Structure 1
Amino acid sequence: MLGWSGCALTGDDPSEKVFIKYFGEDGNQEGVDMLVAANGFYLLGNTVRSNSSNGRQILLLKTDLKGNEIGRWEFGGPADDFAKDIEFTLDGNLVIGANSVQAATGSDAMIIKVSLTGQELGKTVVDFGGSDETVSSVSVLSDGGFVLMGSTDNATIKPDQTPATPPALTDTHDIMQLRFDQNLVQIPSWNRAIGVDFSDFGIKMYEILPPPTNHPRRYYIFGYTNVLRTNPFDPPNTNNFNYWITSVSENGDAVGSSLYSQLPGNSNEFLSAVEFNSNAGDLGYLLTGVSRSSNRNDIYVVKTKPQINFDIPAPLSGPDPVPYTDIVFSQQLQLNLGSVASNVTNVFPTSNGYFIVSNAKNSATGGSTDWLLTRVEQSGGVGWAVPVLLGGGGEDSVGSVKQLPDGSIVVFGTFEIGSERREKKMALIKLTKDGKLQPE
């Protein structure tokens, strides 16, 4: 087990090479995701005011590169709206993936298009009817459209399900994939869900560019599932969750092959973030999440090649599983996260490795939940002997990590602060390239 490195959260450096900024007002505000622009940061979160008759609202902030707030906008109505992901669009705007929750319809999928100055340009809410849809991310496609990725507990939506063949009892969730054009009009010819007769959850979709010329595969889907497998080169599993990569065609049809990544034994691996590394010499997808077992929770990372062919290796004799040829490495980071409840991680690829953040219980502060920041080498090994732990002394939750062109690291999320009445506030922290709050 690695030790912890703590940093005192005391204020800004006069040189502004590092800083800590809190954003909020009356009530609770939660930091979810972050984008870096040429002139500052877009910070996505949620807000609940103690004196408001409305439910939870989506909160979008714009800051300059020093972390000073220069714009604030709210989106939502009487329902509880939960922001999940934000991306830049091809036409120079922003797109937000979210959920809208109300008693009559449950949790619905929502997509919002916003200008860089905070003007709402369009919104679409999708309700499957009597079920809960959970958004994980939004992806921007080469035609200017979008895909909301997530899950639904309506197992009758996938195209191979008919009223004559009701879902199996084990079929509790399917991957939800909702496609929209650039005006947020849902595309009816696109399949809205895929899955097997178990619990399947979608995290992120990536378009394959350029598209293959000899295969209908057009999009990779990354998620996790507890499907039972019988391939002789897969480790046996007993309905435990594992990372899952599959693919779909131009119309959202599943094209068959799948790739799984898991650890031996009865641990559960819950994927929460995927990023494509476009840096020359290290091309590929990096998958991060949390591996859970009875005695420890840890960050689990998987690196794939940039082109995933779903190659099945020839079975070998003996009890040891044969690795898929598409996987470059897969391993735990040997960081004991404690009894942390959240599976949230985030990853940012750099020219010489990756920065990864997660939540972790800090026994030194009485079991509060803090942010954990670590660095991973291109080979998959841990780059920092001691990870950085950042926290406000309460139940904090991490959202996003980025690296700026000068090498400095920016982390965004939620801090629970205050001595008498603790409230959650959005927190933006800029660190040195080594993860320190003291400038070099």
Structure 2
Amino acid sequence: MTARISLIATLITVVLFFSCDTERNIAPVFKTYFTKYYGEDGNQFAVDLAVNPDGTMVMVGTSQSQTDQTNYAFIVKVDNEGTVLWQRKMGDRDEEPVDIEFDSRNDIIVVSNFESRAIRITRISQSGASIDSTLIENPAGIFGTAITEINNATGHFFLVSGYAGPGLVGDGDPVTVANDEQDLLIYKIDPSFDLPPKLELEQGGEKVGKIAKIFQSQINGPIRYYRFGDSDRPLSQGGNFRQTFEVVRLNEFFVPSTLVQAGSTDEVQISSEAIAMPIAGQPGFVMVGSTGQGASKRIFVAQYNDLRPELTVRLKPIISTPRPAEGVSVAYGEQESIFVLADEQQDNNNYDIYLAKFESDGAFGGEMRFGSIEGNDRAAAVRVLPDQRVAVFGTIELETQKKMMLTLISPQGTFLE
């Protein structure tokens, strides 16, 4: 395995070397990035990454032993140079994490799906010690996607987004669909984890869909929430059920009002991640995912302002790559530059990890690709560290095992023009 890792590192170095156009730039390039692998015996699959204000990082994924293909949640904390501070398994068998965040006490909050029948929210200290956890259960099947901490005039709580089969709490669908498959859910969780979860919203009317993230408006005024994700909900009775990016404004009682859809009229758009970020100096949001299907699949990005969640045109919404690609994660850096991470399909139907940078005016700023030779590698998350280095987190396939990969890249000199 050591020889294979060295070969991969050499390949990345060669790519970066030839991206430099002067001798003066060659030496710093070798110091502007590194790649490290994390895990234990067996396979580990990257899921999400969160960055502390001091630059330390907490990575979460799933782990399988060589003899047991059952998934366990696996969590690792590293310093700002990628050195392991601690790592551990967590939860039970058949548990798969989907989101990691830090709460207002700087504890680690992990959302995971447990045996396809429950959502578990686990709180862990920054030293790796378990604090407490709570379950949202439904024997018919329920799946979590993300968590958001809220602290406003209505109280202090967590909002957990997810989805389940139709009819969880009765027929509340605005449009009747005979083969409705998924209803979108929002649960309110008391931060003590002592009270039962409260279902605040079940919204149907679509065959498929999901909530990528819930945000509270950052603008003063009436309390508003935004639900980012996708669905094939038609805007009118009798409309076409075509899956597309969707943003829904909710009032303080979680009653939906404004609905905004983004995407072309003849393709499917599926969301992966949404983040809050400034747009032209004002509060806003960006969501990434894919548009199209099969060989025509491309990265799709949409930006929204906070006051009115209407699509802005600052960023080119469709990113074309030589091969089919699907947007997975997004982050922003200095001067509102945007980093988009994606899975790019190769000729052998395996995937490499693709990273693109865009400047604040939407101009293309460069791209990089990561991957093992003939391996099937997957993107998980991109984040910008306090010192503006870019952290790329994903799964790399080595000779006999898959490992979680962390690559740190300097914002200067490493992107291929």
Task: For 1:330 and 1:246, locate their aligned partners in 2 and report how far apart those are by CA, in whole Å.
Answer: 22
Among 333, 352, 364, the residue aligned to 1:350: 333
User: Measured at CA, do residues 139 and 196 of structure 1 come closer, stay the same or move farther in structure 2, by a change above 3 Å?
Assistant: same
Amino acid across the alignment from 2:33: V
Structure 1 CA distance for aligned equivalents of residues 293 and 176 of structure 2: 29
Q: Give the Cα separation in 1 of the matches to 2:384 and 2:66.
A: 35
The CA deviation at 1:209 is 3.6
Pairwise CA distance, 1:374: 0.1
Q: Deviations over 1:188-237 (max 9, x none)?
A: 55424223254331110001245633xxx521001111122349xxxx97
Residue 92 of structure 1 corresponds to 106
Normalised TM-score (structure 2): 0.84
Matching residue within 217, 221, 224 for 2:227: 221
Is 1:258 matched with 2:277?
no
Q: Distance in 2 between matches of 1:210 and 1:186?
A: 30
Between the aligned partners of 1:278 and 1:176, the Cα distance in structure 2 is 27
Equivalent pair of 2:262/2:311 in contact (CA under 8 Å)? no
Question: Residue 196 of structure 1 aligns to which amino acid in structure 2?
Answer: G
| In structure 2, distance between residues paired with 1:188 and 1:20 | 40
Q: Report the counterpart of residue 203 of structure 1 in structure 2.
A: 212
**SS of residue paired to 1:212:** coil
Question: How far apart, in 2, do the equivalents of 1:26 and 1:230 lie?
Answer: 53
Q: Which moved more, 1:202-211 or 1:299-308?
A: 202-211
More strand by share: 2
The residue number in structure 2 matching 1:70 is 85
Task: Please show how residues 28-177 of structure 1 align to structure 2 within 5 Å.
Answer: 28-37=43-52, 38-51=54-67, 55-77=70-92, 79-101=93-115, 106-130=116-140, 132-142=141-151, 143-157=155-169, 160=172, 168-177=177-186
Query: Can you give the 5+ residue segments of structure 1 that lack an aligned partner in the other structure?
Result: 1-5, 311-323
One-letter amino acid of the counterpart of residue 426, structure 1? M
Name the residue aligned to 2:299.
299
- Whether contact under 8 Å (2:217, 2:224) holds in the other structure is yes
1:403 to 2:384 alignment: yes
Q: Which amino acid aligns with 1:359?
A: D
* Residue of structure 2 equivalent to 1:320: none
Q: Could you tell me whether the CA contact under 8 Å between 2:206 and 2:231 is conserved in 1?
A: no
Distance verdict in 2 for CA 1:327–1:431, change over 3 Å: closer
Shift of 1:16: 5.7
Residue 282 of structure 1, CA deviation: 5.2
Q: Corresponding residue for 1:321?
A: none
| TM-score, scaled to structure 1 | 0.80
Which secondary structure state, in structure 2, belongs to the residue aligned with residue 82 of structure 1? strand
SS of equivalent residue, structure 1 residue 283: strand
Cα 1:7/1:292, change in 2 over 3 Å: farther
Residue by residue over 1:69-114, the C-alpha shift from the partner in whole angstroms, topping out at 9 and shown as x without a partner, is 120121112x30101111110012111111001xxxx332111111
Alignment correspondent of 2:409: 431
Residues 9 and 392, structure 1, Cα contact 8 Å, conserved in 2 = no
d(CA) in 2 for partners of 1:326, 1:166: 29
Q: Which residue of 2 aligns with 1:281?
A: 281
Q: 1:19 to 1:197 in 2, by over 3 A?
A: closer
Structure 2 unaligned residues grouped into runs of 5+:
1-8, 15-27
Matched residues, number: 389
Deviation at 1:334, TM superposition (A): 2.0
Q: Which amino acid aligns with 2:184?
A: I
Question: 2-side partners of 1:151 and 1:285: how far apart?
Answer: 22
CA RMSD in angstroms, aligned pairs only: 3.1
Residue 26 of structure 1: CA displacement?
1.3
Indicate conservation of the 8 Å contact 1:359/1:397, yes or no.
yes
Quick one: distance in 2 between partners of 1:258 and 1:187? Answer: 30
Deviation at 1:51, TM superposition (A): 3.6
**Residue 288 of structure 1: how far off its partner (Å):** 0.7
Find the counterpart in structure 2 of residue 334 from structure 1. 320
For residues 88 and 8 of structure 1, the distance between their equivalents in structure 2, rounded to whole angstroms, comes to 35
Structure-2 separation of matches of 1:49 and 1:72: 15
SS in 1 for 2:354: strand
Is the partner of 2:364 in helix, strand or coil?
A: coil
Letter in 1 for 2:370: L
- Distance in 2 (alpha carbons) for counterparts of 1:155 and 1:307: 33
Q: Kindly indicate whether the alpha-carbon contact (under 8 Å) linking 1:64 and 1:70 is maintained by their aligned counterparts in 2.
A: yes
Aligned equivalent of 1:382: 364
3-state SS in 2 of match to 1:145: strand
